[in-house]
Chain A
Amino acid sequence: MRAYILRRLILAVPTVIGATLLVFVLMAATPGGIGGSLRGDGDSGLVSSTASAAARREYLNERYGLESPVLVQYGRWLAGVLPVKFGGPLGVVGVGGPDLGRSMQNDRPVVTILAERVPVSLGLNVAALLVVCLIAIPSGALAGLRAGGWWDRLSSAAWLLLWSVPIVWAGAMVLHLLAGQSAVFAGWWGESGGRAVFPIGGIRSSDAGEWASFWPGSDAGGRWRRGLALDTLWHVCLPVVCLAYADIAILARMTRSATVDGAGADHVRTAVAKGLSPGAVARRHVLRPSLVAIITLLASSMGGLIAGSVIVESVFDLPGMGRLVMEAIQAGDRELLLGTVLLLTVLNVGAMLIADVLYARLDPRVELR
């Protein structure tokens, strides 16, 4: 097992390098070149005087080596990221943390920017994953245990329908119906007319700083305050639903087919024959083995989920990693985009590795090679 993990980790290195190289080459092929809009020589260059544009271009060229060949530039970037630092008279100089460079756009370390954005995306996705599990697994298991029954038919149709709804549209409709004070259903909650059922965007209310308390309760003046916990929950409610519904559909289908497979196995027939109660058979002999496949699927879908939050974050205006990707692309900010891609790729590869290892741990029949 340990050898397998080690082998996979070693194999993951060229994969991650290849992925960043792919993105690097793609970015180098941008019509305006890397950081084109920043250098002020793009079509929409907003730099007013040509002198300052030239100075800025020169600075960026020097700072990032933008005039050397693409592979050399990539080598520079990679040397910064690798934990082993090269250079100096003796070759290897020492070991350091990965240096993702500084964002071209606002000259802040990429690591700092990522540290601000990651918690939002991660929180959003963990919440979505929780929702997915809580709804999809019971639904799929129930459908699979009574395959062909009314719940099976109803939920299959419903999940297939949900699966086909584009997230962008779902987000738009949810915003239109529920979010903000001009929403269709505004004022249904609470007594005062025109009160928002859900907030429009962001992760906190703008006046959240005044409350200071984390948990809901009354403030000094005796007025009831939501508290930061409830406020955040209120803000991410719609985004989480939008992020979760498509995966609910997929996971419920998978759970159902895993359960159906499990219910047909020989050991289940034996368990029924020896007189176990139907509930015990379902719990111990059908659902438990089918959990293996479900957990594997969940772990491997994590990476895709995070990428999926690009849309949700831009619809609901949340300051997460997905929005960061869009901001980096729009500005042609190479360092920022590469850092984000690297992080997402590592997360994705890690999730796939965890899925494989979990699979082997949970199912002793699987042997890893």
Chain B
Amino acid sequence: MSEVSTAKVRPTSIVLSAGWLSLVTCAGLFAPLIANERPIWISGVGWHDKLPALAALSPLDVLLLVGGACLMLAIVAMGWHHDAARLRRHMFFIVAGLATGLVVQGIAMPVLSMAERRDPAEWVAAWRARPRFVHELSIAATLIGITAAVMVVAAARARTRWWAVVAIGGLLAGGALALHGNAGRVIATTPIPAGSIVLWAPIAQSPQTNGNTATQLVRAEPGSLLALPLAESLLARRPISTSGMRDMAQGLAASSLDVSQQKVLGSVLAEIVGEGKPAPAEEILRRYAAEEFVRPPAVVAFVEGSWRGSLTPSDLQEALGAVSSAPDLDPAQRVAATGTFGSLMGGNPANPAVTGSDLAVRIAVAIGPRSLLGTDSGGRDVAAQMIHGARTAIGVGVLAVALALLVGVPVGALMGWRGGSIDLLGMRVIEVFKSIPNLLLLIVAASVLPRSGVSLVVVMALCMWPAAAKYVRAEFLRIRELDYVAAARAAGVGEFSIVVRHMLPGALAPVIVNASFAVGGAIIFESTLSYLGLGPSGVASWGALLAQAIDSSHRVYWWLAIPPGVAIFLTVYALHVLGDYARERIDPRLAG
């Protein structure tokens, strides 16, 4: 009967599921390397280095990354110690993948430069000057991930079982990464470059400041700790105190400036604070504007500065001329900027609604950096958030289930083993937890605790441990009556030893099978809580993206909904498939 009745899980789907999970885990593991390069928010002021990815890495990050890589290599080696030839072959794949990435990068650079008709000497200089290291690292990390996924697929096809070890090990490593709070610190944030260029351009460019600048500042940064002291100082002709400047430094991260501008302003502030005397806002703005790094593309400032009102067709012609001869645009940017004019003029040449600042925004958007999956309402990069979200999803899911097992298994074992009043009391407690619908308890508990990843893990474990305890208890009640336990007792084995060495292994099978489903459930819970606004704050997660996809008037932004939705769906589906498979393999009784 069992042969016919079990719905056979297809081998292909198992392989694909394991592959997807290891890809997600790799993304979570290497998230700082893959996604930190541009969209990173650096906490701390006065960083003055030129490698954003490495600047954002804490020593702990480096340790964990190295540790994660070592762990994966160790797992691979463990799986192959009996087959040295295969190990060598796969190590070759990894090295070849890395080497290919480097070679491709090396070839692509000159080819791209040729396409832009640059002097070869120029790209050599560019190669040396720019922080390319970051690219190599991210490419290497991606390639390692893809190679690992391919190897998992290959090994699963070869009917070895170590892929499960790789998947579980990777999941645990990802969880450990998330636990130390890194997910809370590194936020995939790119403030809109266009906005900051346009809004801050006149302020940074104009040599003299006045009340008008103050208004512009407040308009640019409504309610920001950054703009208010500046504006107050400008209006009242009063220097800003040192503590006021510290406030401003704190407000920097929430400002609309992009990362490089934030860093420059941060260092300016730190410099003035270091000098130890209050400074007027003019002083700060002048020093800020003097930095080479801050200057926006001349064309945007030009457009913004030249036409304050609506544009006439002749204005547009003039601006077009300025753009096509702008010195600080590269060819691709020039094409994009000219295209903006084309679309504006082609549509309705006498359109009175087109204003100079509108045009400047459009140009800034056209020549600004592109994002693979678009940006969210705060201008943050969706692709980067997806990668950081993988870390959150796997971390929260795995750790919540692990914590629930840590609590539930001993409690259930104690109840099933001792029985009597302990069992009765435990069952009452479990019943209390079970009588409140799970989602309701989760929402109430999540609304009380601080919005952080750790408390989310605790809350989910709070909701999930009774189920684990119940499973273990039922198994213990069954196993307690079995002959081999009686035999062990008759042979004089100690009680503790009977419980831990003889009963627990037999009781764990259904729990482990259910853990796979529970991780999937936890990922869905996480997205639900984030949707309801109860998720961890300041952490990039799939659920948080999904929450942004629907606004209060029920408008749906599909590009925010589809990537996280598909990712959650695939991850949960993969976990369900693996859970079904584990159910068949580990515990034939459960297969039904």
Chain A residues packing against B (C-beta within 8 Å): 11-12, 14-16, 18-19, 22-23, 26-27, 29-31, 147-148, 152-153, 156, 160-161, 163-169, 171-173, 175-176, 179-180, 182, 200-201, 256-257, 260-261, 264, 303-304, 306-308, 310-311, 314-315, 317, 325-326, 329-330, 337, 341, 344-345, 348-349, 352
Asked if B546 lies at the interface with its beta carbon under 8 angstroms from chain A, I say yes
Asked if B444 lies at the interface with its beta carbon under 8 angstroms from chain A, I say yes
Residues of A within 8 A of B434 (CB): 352
Name B572's contact: one of A14, A164, A326 (CB within 8 Å). A164
Name B573's contact: one of A148, A152, A161, A200 (CB within 8 Å). A161
Contact A169 B444, beta carbon cutoff 8 Å: no
* A-B residue pairs in contact (CB < 8 Å), sample of 23: A18-B428, A19-B436, A23-B444, A27-B444, A29-B448, A30-B447, A147-B7, A153-B7, A160-B580, A165-B569, A168-B531, A168-B546, A168-B547, A169-B546, A257-B5, A260-B592, A308-B437, A308-B439, A310-B439, A325-B443, A341-B444, A345-B435, A348-B436
Name A172's contact: one of B532, B546, B569 (CB within 8 Å). B546
- What is the CB-to-nearest-CB distance from B384 to chain A, in angstroms, rounded to a whole number? 20
Residues of A within 8 A of B555 (CB): 182
Residues of A within 8 A of B531 (CB): 168, 311, 314
Per the 8 Å Cβ criterion, residues 502-549 of B in contact with A are 520, 524, 527-528, 531-532, 543, 546-547, 549
- What is the CB-to-nearest-CB distance from A70 to chain B, in angstroms, rounded to a whole number? 13
What's the tally of chain B residues with a CB closer than 8 Å to chain A?
Answer: 50
Nearest to A308 among chain B residues (CB) is: B439
Contact A152 B561, beta carbon cutoff 8 Å: no
Contact B554 A200, beta carbon cutoff 8 Å: yes
Chain B residues packing against A (C-beta within 8 Å): 1, 4-5, 7, 428-429, 431-441, 443-445, 447-448, 450, 520, 524, 527-528, 531-532, 543, 546-547, 549-550, 554-556, 558, 561, 564-565, 568-570, 572-573, 576-577, 580, 592
Q: Nearest 6 CB-CB pairs, A to B?
A: A307-B437, A169-B565, A176-B556, A18-B432, A164-B573, A164-B572
Nearest to A256 among chain B residues (CB) is: B7
Most buried by A among B438, B445, B524, B564: B524
Contact B561 A160, beta carbon cutoff 8 Å: no
Contact B439 A307, beta carbon cutoff 8 Å: yes
Contact A341 B532, beta carbon cutoff 8 Å: no
Interface SS of chain A: helix
Contact A15 B556, beta carbon cutoff 8 Å: no
What's the Cα separation between A260 and B1 when bound, in Å?
9
- What is the CB-to-nearest-CB distance from B578 to chain A, in angstroms, rounded to a whole number? 12
Contact B436 A345, beta carbon cutoff 8 Å: yes
Residue pairs across A and B with CB atoms within 8 Å: the count is 153
Residues of B within 8 A of A22 (CB): 432-433, 436, 441
Contact B436 A175, beta carbon cutoff 8 Å: no
Contact A164 B576, beta carbon cutoff 8 Å: yes
What's the Cα separation between A345 and B439 when bound, in Å?
12
Contact B527 A152, beta carbon cutoff 8 Å: no
A166-B565, A168-B546, A304-B437 known; A310+B443 contact, CB < 8 A: yes
Residues of A within 8 A of B429 (CB): 18
Q: List 13 extra interface pairs beyond A147-B7, A182-B555, A352-B434, CB under 8 A.
A: A12-B435, A22-B441, A23-B436, A152-B7, A165-B569, A168-B531, A171-B550, A172-B550, A175-B556, A256-B7, A260-B592, A308-B437, A310-B440
